[in-house]
């Protein structure tokens, strides 16, 4: 049975996309409940300046809390070298930096062009390498807007392949493909995963970060699985988007993704009934905030999880 690694990004990608700030204790309850349901990795926040995203101001506190949860890998997003320094000081076990394949989006999102971003990646890689082996976080570069951009439109697949290779050359352990704007389709996912893997190696591309903006999130996830992807980002209740990409709406719903994988015979290690109960924490802390997902609304099919004779 193939194991698929689910990385929950709601506490970061979901909460950065709404105006209200979830109280710290509610975030802790959310993270603890997902860990108890068997979610193996949670991106608990980002080290963006609080003046830009006050929703992320307590990320260091969340890392300290989450590291006390048994079996949970604790991840954080960093926009730059300074953010990486803060994440490493806080004890993050995985750090990811967004590297927009659309240069216009990169300038809008982190105020750096491609050359400046590659220099930033190299500096962070050197910082990570300077740490003792037992406190060295896993460093991933997320290739944002890899499938298209709401500002530029289509993004050249050849450019994505070239920039993926440049990120690896600059010292990233791996790259992930991010459908930041919800533009991807399954054929495009298959084509781009194959092309990037062919350039950087199978082991250097394991992750897809998908949005469900046009309803293709799960179809795109399945296409990625068929090309050897083993890690999928998702957000509880489909919270998420990108504040700097107009029209980019929610991530794929963690509950629906886990249901699809388990129904297909993949192993996730997640108790789906426990996972769906976590939604109540968000609903209580953020009353009126829309939560998405077909599986939580419909419930699990009779006999789900039982092997037919």
For the record, the structure tokens of 86 come out as: 């803060």
Domain boundaries, the chain: 5-298
Task: Say if residue 243's pLDDT is above 60.
Answer: no
Q: Confidence band (pLDDT; 50, 70, 90) for 109? A: confident
d(CA 45, CA 11): 6
Report which of 180, 164, 191, 294 is spatially closest to residue 237, judged by C-alpha positions. 294
* CB distance 16 to 53 below 8 Å: yes
Q: H/E element holding 231?
A: strand 231-234
Question: Comparing 290 with 97, which gets the higher pLDDT?
Answer: 97
Residue 307: the pLDDT is 55
Residues in CB range of 58: below 8 A, 6 or more apart: 24, 27, 45
> What's the pLDDT tens digit per position in 11-24?
999 999 888 999 99
* Topology given in CATH for the domain delimited by 5-298: TIM Barrel (3.20.20)
Task: Say if residue 81's pLDDT is above 70.
Answer: yes
- Per DSSP, helices labelled H in the chain are 24-36, 59-66, 81-90, 103-109, 114-129, 157-169, 186-200, 217-226, 254-264, 272-277, 279-285, 294-298
Mean pLDDT within 128-132 = 96
| Cα 229 to Cα 12, 218, 246, 293, distances in angstroms | 22, 13, 28, 23
Q: Confidence band (pLDDT; 50, 70, 90) for 241? A: low
Classify the phi-psi angles of 203: left when phi > 0, otherwise alpha if psi is within -120 to 50, otherwise beta: alpha
Task: Say if residue 202's pLDDT is above 50.
Answer: yes
φ/ψ of 37, rounded to 5, equals -80, -5
- Is 149 labeled as catalytic in the residue annotation? no
Task: Say if residue 79's pLDDT is above 60.
Answer: yes
Report which of 10, 20, 19 is spatially closest to residue 44, judged by C-alpha positions. 10
Residue 248: the pLDDT is 47
User: What separation, in Å, do the N-terminal and C-terminal C-alpha atoms of the chain show?
Assistant: 18
Angle, vertex CA 295, rays to CA 290 and CA 300, nearest 5: 145
Task: Say if residue 209's pLDDT is above 60.
Answer: yes
d(CA 50, CA 192): 35
d(CA 179, CA 110): 17
CB count in 10 Å sphere of residue 75: 28
How big is the chain by its Cα radius of gyration, in Å?
A: 18
> What's the pLDDT tens digit per position in 22-65?
999 999 999 999 999 999 999 999 999 998 899 999 999 999 99
**Catalytic-labelled residue, pool 216, 242, 245, 278:** 242
Q: Name the percent of the chain lying above pLDDT 70.
A: 96
Residues in CB range of 309: below 8 A, 6 or more apart: none
d(CA 275, CA 267): 15
pTM across the whole model: 0.95
């Amino acid at each position: 049975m193939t194991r698929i690694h689910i990385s929950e990004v709601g506490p970061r990608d979901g909460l950065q996309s709404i105006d209200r700030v979830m109280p710290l204790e509610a975030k802790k309850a959310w993270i603890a409940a997902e860990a108890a349901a068997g979610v193996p990795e949670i991106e608990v926040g980002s080290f963006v300046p609080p003046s830009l995203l006050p929703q992320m101001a307590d990320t260091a506190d969340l890392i300290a809390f989450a590291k006390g949860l048994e079996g949970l890998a604790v991840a954080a997003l960093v926009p730059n070298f300074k953010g990486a320094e803060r994440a490493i000081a806080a004890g993050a076990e995985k750090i990811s930096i967004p590297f927009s394949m659309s240069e216009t989006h990169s300038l809008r999102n982190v105020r750096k062009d491609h050359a400046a971003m590659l220099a930033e990646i190299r500096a962070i890689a050197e910082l990570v390498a300077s740490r003792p082996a037992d406190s060295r976080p896993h460093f991933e570069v997320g290739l944002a807007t890899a499938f298209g951009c709401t500002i530029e439109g289509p993004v050249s697949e050849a450019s994505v392949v070239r920039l993926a290779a440049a990120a690896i050359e600059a010292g990233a352990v791996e790259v992930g493909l991010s459908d930041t704007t919800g533009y991807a389709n399954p054929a495009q996912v298959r084509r781009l995963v194959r092309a990037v893997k062919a350039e950087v190696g199978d082991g250097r591309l394991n992750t897809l970060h998908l949005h469900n903006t046009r309803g293709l999130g799960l179809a795109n996830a399945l296409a990625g699985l068929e090309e050897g992807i083993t890690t999928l980002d998702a957000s509880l209740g489909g919270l998420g988007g990108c504040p700097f990409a107009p029209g980019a709406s929610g991530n794929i719903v963690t509950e629906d993704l886990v249901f699809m994988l388990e129904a297909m015979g993949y192993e996730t290690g997640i108790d789906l009934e426990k996972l769906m109960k976590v939604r109540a924490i968000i609903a209580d802390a953020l009353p009126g905030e829309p939560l998405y997902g077909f599986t939580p609304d419909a419930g699990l099919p009779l006999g789900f999880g039982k092997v037919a004779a």
